[in-house]
Amino acid sequence: MRFVWAVLAFVLAAVLIGTGIAQRTIFLGPKDVTAELSVKAPQAFTVIDSAVLRAHPGEQTLVAHGDGTIFVAQARTADLEAWLSDTSYNRITLAKDGTATTSKLVEPTAKNEDGKDVQRDPAGSDLWLDSFTDKNSLVDRMQVPEGVSVLLASDGKAEAPSDVAVKWPLDTATPWAGPLMVAGGIFLLLGLVLYVLAIRHSRRGRGPRRKAPPPLPVTEPIDVADRAAIDSAPEGAAAPDAEPATDATGSRTQPEPDPAASQDGAVRERRATMPKRRRALLLIPAVGVTAALLSGCTPDIWPHPAASPTPTPTETQAVEAGQQAPAVTEAQAARILESISGTLADADKNLDAAKAETRLEGSALEARKTAYAVHKSVADFALPATIPADKVKILVPQAYDSWPRTVLMLVEHGSNDKVAPLIMTMTQADPWSNYKISHVAEMQASAKLPNMAPAWLGAKLTPPDSPFLVVPPDELASEFANVIDQGDKSEFYDKFDKSALAFAKSVQDSRATVVQALKDANADTTSTLAFAAKAGTEAPVSMSSIDSGAIVSVTVDDSQTIKPTSADAVIKLDKNPSAKALTGVDQSAAGFVSVYGVQLFFAVPAQGSDAKITLLAASQQLQSVTEIK
């Protein structure tokens, strides 16, 4: 019966191990599913719809082959449609049955005056969430969320690649393969043990093999004289010890060992050790088979119990109904900042105002243009602060689906704590334009930003004439300019906090220094000097905060006008090389007007709040010097 159980164990082991191996070999399905994407007539651009990319769960792998440059970009579907609104393109969508793809030609909704499609290179656009470029073939692994589509193109002129496929991974895990093979190994070991026990039982059932008794010793006659002595000995007395026999010469000899007895003992010793050896030798193949089966194990062959995540308290922000998407993502903002930083660094190196204009506008652009013009003649004239690309500390994108779009950003200079962080606003005018910085200033040492919406949510722009702030954004610059001119006599003086008033005082002190220098040169009797601050021509940018307040960026123009007091007097620029470089003259009988652009960022509280307007950042740069005509 033991042999029957051993055979059953071997059969079960073979079935279990074979089933486990079969699950990882002949029964294992394909590792991925592939969809070939085709178009009827190739165009310069092809859009792969979000539904196509999300037709199967898991990571998507886009494979494209073509001649020359292959460009792939990810963007929100609505943004792609806006970017392609003035050109024709192919759009690949999911069929109604959800199992196939269809392609259709989309005509432009806004054509040029000549009626032709716009040929535009998609590379380098700030609109893309991510982009990749390669030659002749491209493989891009992506995890596209809902509402995000993919643009496929070349250089905007050549046809987009038409040999395109999308792959999705399939779940090839066989969680029972490992347990089945382990169970098979256990039954294999059990079968070997039962087999050994069956053999031992069979051998014991045959009975022991008895040997014939040895022959009786040869009897010899006893002398009659000795018989009388034996009979007279008392009963129980010990027999005298036998003495060793003597040979013919009279010497003693030792008894010889029995060869049959020695051979029988050796056989019994070998039989005692053989079962242990056999059991060890029989276990070796079982252990080896199990180890061989499990040597190539991967996590896919074992069951994975679903882990229950431990909830952690996190701060949440309510999403309003109809909330629009933020203008940029954090990764997108970091890439845009890196591009801006590189462009401006190259522009600063070559004093290239045209290149700077591709990433700057408004007072930020005018300050750099002026600095470039002066620096060409005055080598020690300082350029505006560089834009770092090290770390975006705070990102507040506008939650807006249309254009123009605005982003507020606080950027640090890496680990250098000695350089003040920069706060800036940048705007994208339309889908085809890149972001340009309009306001930028250095943070004040003690400034603290109000609570702003997280980057994934975005914030709304406060209207310039909003009555919900203590001061409407379009009146903030003029009121602070009045404080600069009037000081504590200004009617708006009490609206601003100590940091703002301290900055206004510093501007007044710099004016006093200029007046004193004029007196020291004995020119105060032949010339007059006037100062005036007014709101700049740029519209303010106001980003709402969580507490219903806003961060408002404005520009104040601080002008300095010097004129001669008589017709015989002239204003010379001998000690003002920057003015000389900008005007191209050495003196003037009419005088000069110098304008300094002051870029300011304020935290403006909501209407009804007792808090005052706080100055967050400020930067002052020479904007222009003109001769009075």
Which whole number is the average pLDDT over 294-316?
57
β-pair partners for 440 = 424
- CB distance 406 to 395 below 8 Å: no
- CB distance 423 to 409 below 8 Å: yes
**Domain annotation covers residue 271:** no
Residue 118 sits in the same domain as residue 182: no
Beta strands in 84-177 (DSSP E): 89-94, 101-106, 130-142, 148-153, 163-169
Query: What confidence tens digit (pLDDT) does each residue in 366-379 have?
Result: 999 999 999 999 99
The count of other CB atoms within 10 Å of the CB of residue 59 is 13
**Domain annotation covers residue 259:** no
Rounded Cα distance between 530 and 581, Å, is 22
Q: Which of 138, 161, 196 is the last residue of a domain?
A: 196
Query: In terms of Cα–Cα distance, which of 37, 38, 128, 19 is closest to 77?
Result: 128
Q: Which of 152, 169, 186 is the last residue of a domain?
A: 169
**Domain annotation covers residue 275:** no
Residue 14 sits in the same domain as residue 147: no
Residue 42: phi and psi, rounded to 5, are: -60, 140
Rounded Cα distance between 570 and 48, Å, is 70
Residue 133 sits in the same domain as residue 48: yes
- CB distance 74 to 127 below 8 Å: no
Residue 398 sits in the same domain as residue 419: yes
Q: Which of 169, 188, 208 is the last residue of a domain?
A: 169
Pairing relationship of beta strands 60-76 and 148-153 according to DSSP bridges: antiparallel
Residue 143 sits in the same domain as residue 178: no
Residue 410 sits in the same domain as residue 527: yes
- CB distance 184 to 86 below 8 Å: no
Which whole number is the average pLDDT over 500-514?
96
- Identify the pLDDT of residue 472: 97
Residue 477 sits in the same domain as residue 550: yes
Which of the four pLDDT bands, split at 50, 70 and 90, describes residue 319?
low
Mean pLDDT, the chain, integer? 84
Residue 52 sits in the same domain as residue 181: no
Length of the chain: 629
Query: What confidence tens digit (pLDDT) does each residue in 186-229 have?
Result: 888 888 888 888 888 777 766 555 555 666 666 655 555 555 55
3-state secondary structure of 543: strand
**Domain annotation covers residue 214:** no
Instruction: Tell me which DSSP letter residue 490 carries.
Output: S
**Domain annotation covers residue 615:** yes
Query: What confidence tens digit (pLDDT) does each residue in 546-568 have?
Result: 999 999 999 999 999 999 998 88
Q: Which residues contact 515 (CB under 8 A, 6 or more apart)?
A: 524, 529
Count of structural domains, the chain: 3
**Domain annotation covers residue 391:** yes
3-state secondary structure of 536: coil
Which of the four pLDDT bands, split at 50, 70 and 90, describes residue 320?
low
Residue 472 sits in the same domain as residue 579: yes
Of the listed ranges 16-30, 264-278, 424-438, the least confidently predicted one is 264-278
Question: Distances from the Cα of 341 to the Cαs of 345, 347, 570, 621, in angstroms?
Answer: 6, 10, 43, 19
The count of other CB atoms within 10 Å of the CB of residue 290 is 19
Residue 92 sits in the same domain as residue 184: no
Count Cβ atoms within 10 A of the Cβ of residue 288 and give its class: 0-12 exposed, 13-18 middle, 19 or more buried. exposed
> Tell me, what amino acid is at 598?
V
**Domain annotation covers residue 201:** no
B/e letters for 412-446, b = 16+ CB within 10 Å, e = fewer, are bbeeeeeebbbbbbbbbeebebbbbbbbbbbbbee
CA dihedral sign of residues 157, 159, 164, 166: positive
Rounded Cα distance between 153 and 130, Å, is 14
Rounded Cα distance between 275 and 575, Å, is 112
**Domain annotation covers residue 296:** no
Query: What confidence tens digit (pLDDT) does each residue in 46-102 have?
Result: 999 999 998 888 888 999 998 899 999 999 999 999 999 999 999 999 887 777 778
Domain that holds residue 8: 2-27+174-196
> Tell me, what amino acid is at 291?
A
- Identify the pLDDT of residue 19: 83
Residue 121 sits in the same domain as residue 19: no
Residue 54 sits in the same domain as residue 183: no
